[in-house]
Structure formats: structure tokens, C-alpha cells
Amino acid sequence: MNLRRASILLAAVLGSAVVLPAAAQSRQNVAHKTATALSGDSFGYRTGAARHVYATYAPQIFKGMLPPLVHAIVVVDTEVDAGGRVREVRVVRSPSHAPDVTERVKKMIFAASPFPAPATAASTRFTEVWLVDHSGRFQLHALTEGQL
């Protein structure tokens, strides 16, 4: 796949979201995002869930900006109950060339359970994009540092 096609594909998956580098966030901004992470706000919960995954799998996080092409992109829709326990992980997009990555992502989500409890709902559902490099390290779109 050439660079142009890969860029178009990544743009289609990620939409038009603007992401600031994690290193550029101030302590106050991080505290604000953590406070909203448990709210009923879908994006806020997604951010809190991503922070939970990063804390759980710290050695496996890709540090810095991702290369222009990543090995695999997996999009999953996750439902957690009132206690933050994972009820369901539904794969929205899976890389056909790397089905092992999809299975690994699903296992990691279940193993990271329980997630933070949603504050205002009996359960919540959020969608996350996993960007995985050839070594298996990853970033989540909610907390990505961008691409080179």
C-alpha cells in the first residue's frame, strides 16, 4: 500500500478529530480531562478509559509520534457496566493482514477490566482506535501523540 492510500485510509478511520500531543498538555488540562473521564460525556469517558489502558500496559505504549505507516489499525466498540467491568467488545474495523493484532487488542481490553466506573449511567459504550506498530507497541487515538 502506498503512502498516499495509507494516509487516506487513516484519515477516513480517524475522522477529522484534532489531537494535541500529550506532552503539550498542562497539568491543569490533564486534571480536567481526568475529572471528566468518569462523566457521562462519551469523549470524556473514552479519554479516561484510554488513560486506564495506558496505565495497565505502560511498557507497551509507543512513545512519541507514530511513523507515517502503522502495522495495524483496529477500531473497537467497548461496553462497560456500572462497575466498569467490560461487558462486550465489538470489532468495528479489523486489519485483514493482521488478525492476530485484533485478537490481542480484544484480550487486552478484557484483561484491563475493570475500567473506571461511568458516573451517570448504568453502563456506557465507547469507540476507540488502536494504532499498532510492527513491534506490537500501540497508541490509542484518544491519547495519540500524532504521526510523523
Q: What's the distance, Cα to Cα, between the start and end of the chain in Å? A: 18
Per-residue model confidence as pLDDT tens digits over 44-80: 799 999 999 999 999 999 999 999 899 999 999 999 9
Check residues 104 and 19 and name the one with the higher pLDDT.
104
Q: Mean of the pLDDT values across residues 3-19?
A: 41
| Dihedral sign from CA coordinates of 110, 112, 118, 122 | positive
Give pLDDT, residue 102. 98
Q: Mean of the pLDDT values across residues 27-38?
A: 37
Band (pLDDT 50/70/90 cuts) for residue 138 is very high
Maximum C-alpha span of the chain? 45
Give pLDDT, residue 48. 94
Give pLDDT, residue 122. 84
Q: What rounded mean pLDDT belongs to the chain?
A: 79
User: DSSP states of 98-119 as a string?
Assistant: -HHHHHHHHHHHHHT-S-PPPS
Tell me which amino acid residue 5 is.
R
Strands 72-81 and 86-93: antiparallel
Edge-to-edge strand list for the sheet holding 123-132: 86-93, 72-81, 123-132, 138-140
Check residues 23 and 144 and name the one with the higher pLDDT.
144
Band (pLDDT 50/70/90 cuts) for residue 121 is confident
pTM for the predicted model, two decimal places? 0.73
For 85, residues 6+ apart whose C-beta sits below 8 A from its C-beta are 113, 114, 115
Check residues 86 and 17 and name the one with the higher pLDDT.
86
